[in-house]
A and B are shown apart, each in its own frame.
Chain A
Amino acid sequence: MTNPLLSFTATLALVAGMAHADEVRVYNWSDYIDEDLLTKFEEETGIDLIYDVFDSNEVLETKMLAGGSGYDVVVPTGTFLQRQIMAGAFQKLDKSKLPNIDNMWDVISDRTSKYDPGNEYAINYMWGTTGLGVNLPKVKEILGDDAPVTSWDLVFKPENMEKLADCGVMFLDAPAEMIPAALNYIGEDPDSHDPDVIAKAEAVYMPIRDHIQKFNSSEYVNALANGDICVAVGWSGDVLQARDRAAEAGNGVEIAYYAPDEGAQMWFDEMAIPVDAPNPEAAHKFLNFIMDPQNMAAASNYVFYANGNLASQKFLVEDVIGDPAIYPSADAMENTYTTTPYDPKVQRTVTRLWTRIKSGT
């Protein structure tokens, strides 16, 4: 190796290789783990854990499709996982390195195999529903005691939104969930891939769009907790975190989460290993650590999301396992729907429609 540039690159690769030997990089959703678990993992395995967060599937997906993200474990939602598997972004799990996989819950594994046949590429981390976060006292003050807080009517009926607007309403900036919600509300198939059916969502949003303060997928947690807004369309656990933050702050704000009567979208966040993960060995150790019943229970107890780990249920606190907003009854589970990924043409229709809804153009 006489070429100085080559030997320089080789040294770099060597240094990088050494650095990776005892380091695992995890990319997860914001506010989505008990951070004590991160230290516990480092202590148990001696592996350095580098933990980064994101707040939209789109950001994660772009990193996965570009390749070379440098992450060893990432957490896409089911539909996104499915598309990224098809694009060749993930490696198959080596289940011999995952003894804790026996702890998983077949009820959830059955549902996730729709996205990842045979659950070959990913394990379930958390699951939940998309529904309504409501500041109860304020909404009742505005709409009266019989305010339809458990129904999509609360945000999709223009006369309700008109009154709630001053108090503040936020929607998720997630077209893959908000368009199906509107379709479900008007009695169409929420998982429709027919552009003509999808277009009907526009009529639901146009009369209310001026009353929506912001489309954002993370700001609503604090906004709800601080009492800055009255209603948020959000993810179950995030709303429950807002509820607890408000209770801790003792600011008189009382938040509740409802999976709407007309049906709520159920989603699954899955842990997977990128095909070009620098340290797949450590990634498997991390997945196995997460599937430990006590660890998984600690995470759920902290973030108020249900998990796909049956063995963890006996370690869950009553506030979590006993709360139907987190672990819905079997009947309520029936009242949910799931969606499948759009192909590029339909995706463009959906994004364009969403832009028109958000910007009026």
Chain B
Amino acid sequence: MRKAVLIAIPYLWLVALFLVPFLIVLKISLSDIALARPPYMPQLDLTQGWAGLTAFFSELDLDNFAFLATDDLYWKSYLSSLRIAALSTLITLAVGYPIAYGMARADHAWRPTLLMLVILPFWTSFLIRVYSWMGILSNEGTLNTVLQWLGVINEPLQIMNTPTAVYIGIVYTYLPFMVLPIYSALEKLDDSLLEAAEDLGCSRFTAFWLVTWPLSRSGIVAGCFLVFIPALGEFVIPSLLGGSSTLMIGKVLWEEFFNNRDWPVASAVAVILLLILIIPIVLFQRNEQKAREAEG
């Protein structure tokens, strides 16, 4: 009984905060655009009882999903988002791993302070931090001014309003989400394992590659998911730092919703985005489970 209650809590959480919103979005994606408030038809009318319910379901269709296939804008945006999210995840990993490694290797007395320093940026609003990057990267911004003063460049570097600025923004914003899980995996690492590896003739690098890296894998995977998933649907960073040519699905979603007022098509875009995210996660989970079973 107690076990059932314990299990029920996370499931309730999942149903209330994930499944129900998803079903609402799914329902809208099957509706049609209308000049009304809210701007789609049909509305579920429960006062009509069963008749209302059947009338409601008979009007739902997959037209909006079919529409997404007719315009190359959508798949190009999905692909471009996937590419930007994947590349930023890799960069974040490359930057975040050494930081986490350094923290985990630091003296015990220092670790809480270092951890604090990683979390500290969260004390400032995310929006303000992205805005400060606009101040740093713009043509008249800090970076260009300093570089020109040093004589490194003559013309200001055009970083603002380019994909580069989007990468910088995403890597900067999500870095803590990469560092923290890797740090927590590395911190648990038993030093004697490395000593044993060296005793058995491993160089420091092979010891790292054969012992530390595999043992921190759970942290790397968690960090990559935490960065990749929000980066894929990112809207704020590309719209503030990116130029108009940076195609991302978050912006397409915004345009469907706000400019076209087409909530049904916007919802269809969102449903597909979710499927794109869920399939690799499920496949990965399966893979992990198999690996665990093989080991066990």
Within 8 A of B (CB), among A338-360: 344, 347-348, 351-352, 354-356, 358-360
Question: Within B230-276, which residues are at the interface with A (CB < 8 Å)?
Answer: 243-247, 252, 255, 257-262
* Given the contacts A215-B244, A359-B245, A86 and B35 also touching, CB distance less than 8 Å: yes
Q: Does B33 contact A (CB under 8 A)?
A: yes
Contacts of A61 in B (CB 8 A): 258, 261
Find the A residue at minimum CB distance from B158: A213
Smallest CB-CB separation from A357: which chain B residue?
Answer: B244
Q: Are the C-beta atoms of B161 and A67 separated by less than 8 Å?
A: no
Q: Identify which of B39, B138, B255 contacts A355 (C-beta below 8 A).
A: B255
Closest to A275 in B: B37
- With A348-B262, A355-B252 known, 20 other A-B pairs at CB within 8 A are A58-B259, A58-B261, A62-B258, A64-B37, A65-B38, A65-B261, A83-B35, A87-B35, A89-B37, A175-B259, A212-B244, A344-B33, A344-B260, A344-B261, A351-B255, A351-B259, A355-B73, A358-B244, A359-B244, A361-B76
Scan residues 47-105 of chain A and give those whose CB is less than 8 A from a CB of chain B: 56, 58-59, 61-62, 64-67, 83, 86-89
Nearest B residue to A61, CB-CB: B261
Nearest-neighbour CB distance to chain B for A136, whole angstroms, equals: 20
Which residues, 221 to 242 on A, are CB-close (under 8 Å) to B? 226, 228
In the complex, the answer to whether A65 meets B244 with C-beta atoms within 8 Å is no
Query: What total count of A-B pairs have CB within 8 Å?
Result: 73
Is the C-beta of A193 less than 8 angstroms from some C-beta in chain B? no
| Docked complex: B154-194 residues within 8 A CB-CB of A | 161
Q: Given A347-B260, A352-B73, does the pair A88, B36 have CB atoms closer than 8 Å?
A: yes
Distance of A147 from chain B, by nearest CB (Å): 22
Q: Flag whether B139 is at the interface (Cβ < 8 A).
A: yes
A344 to chain B, nearest CB (A): 5
Interface residue? B295 (CB, 8 A) = no
B71 located at the interface, meaning its Cβ lies under 8 Å from any Cβ of chain A in the complex: yes
Using a Cβ–Cβ cut-off of 8 Å, how many residues does chain A contribute to the interface with B? 34
Which one of A67, A83, A351 lies within 8 Å of B260 (CB-CB)?
A351
> B35 to chain A: which residues have CB within 8 Å?
83, 86-87, 344
Q: Which 8 A-B pairs have the closest CB atoms?
A: A58-B258, A358-B244, A351-B259, A65-B39, A351-B260, A87-B35, A87-B37, A344-B33
Q: Tell me the B residues contacting A by CB distance below 8 Å.
A: 33, 35-39, 71-73, 76-77, 138-140, 161, 243-247, 252, 255, 257-262
- Residue on A with the closest CB to B72? A361
Please give me the residue from chain B that is nearest to A341 by CB atom.
B35
In the bound complex, residues from chain A placing their C-beta under 8 Å from that of B77 are: 361
Nearest-neighbour CB distance to chain B for A177, whole angstroms, equals 13
The answer on a CB contact under 8 Å between B261 and A347 is yes
Whether, in the assembled complex, A214 has its beta carbon less than 8 Å from a beta carbon of chain B, the answer is yes
Across the interface, do A87 and B39 meet the contact criterion of CB distance under 8 Å? yes
Task: Report the Cα distance A300→B73, complex, angstroms.
Answer: 43
Q: List 9 A-B pairs, Cβ < 8 Å.
A: A59-B258, A61-B258, A62-B257, A67-B38, A87-B36, A88-B37, A275-B37, A344-B260, A359-B247
In the complex, which residues of chain A have a beta carbon less than 8 angstroms from the beta carbon of B245?
Answer: 358-360
Tell me the minimal C-beta distance from A211 to chain B in angstroms: 12
